[in-house]
Amino acid sequence: MVGPAGDASHIGQWTMIRWNELGRYLSRAVKVAEVSSRQQLELNELEHSVVLVTLGRPIPVETMRALLRPLIAQSPLAIVLCGINARLAFDMLISELSDGIQRPHIMTRLLEDDEIEAAVEGLLQATWPSDERFDDWTDYAIVNLDGDLKRVEQIVERMCD
């Protein structure tokens, strides 16, 4: 998304950034986006993605809502949360999904293990969309929020085909 002046658009205090495709797992692309407290991932074409959000630090409630609302609006196949205060973020995710708005089924999952390797393995090896959306599944998307991006990339590259 580009604003009228050609610079990145802003959603609250977040600025758009781009995805980095790292490889494939079971013939599906695996892409990663690093998001810090002043950035926002480019939310496009996530309706075919299983998404993992890794939380590297405590995130204020309004900041988490600023991430979750546009993510939900893209109707990804699944949203998985892990990391610091993941339980709080998951409760917020469920609350946002319970708003009464009609949308395609979004599978949800909470990984309470703070270890990033277990989370990435959980995403790739044990997370999938609902039956009615399974044929739409083309990729995995990992949103690394103020975490160790290098570590995430190493784990993904090791696990990719």
CATH code for the domain of 151: 3.90.190
Question: Could you tell me if residue 138 is inside a domain?
Answer: yes
Predicted model pTM: 0.85
Domain of residue 108 covers 10-159
Q: Indicate the number of domains in the chain.
A: 1
pLDDT of residue 100: 85
Question: Could you tell me if residue 2 is inside a domain?
Answer: no
Any alpha helices (H) in the chain, and if so which ranges? 61-73, 86-97, 116-126, 149-159
pLDDT grade for 142, boundaries at 50, 70 and 90: very high
Question: Could you tell me if residue 1 is inside a domain?
Answer: no
Question: Could you tell me if residue 3 is inside a domain?
Answer: no
Question: Could you tell me if residue 17 is inside a domain?
Answer: yes
Question: Could you tell me if residue 102 is inside a domain?
Answer: yes
Mean pLDDT of 111-119: 84
Question: Could you tell me if residue 114 is inside a domain?
Answer: yes
d(CA 32, CA 53): 10
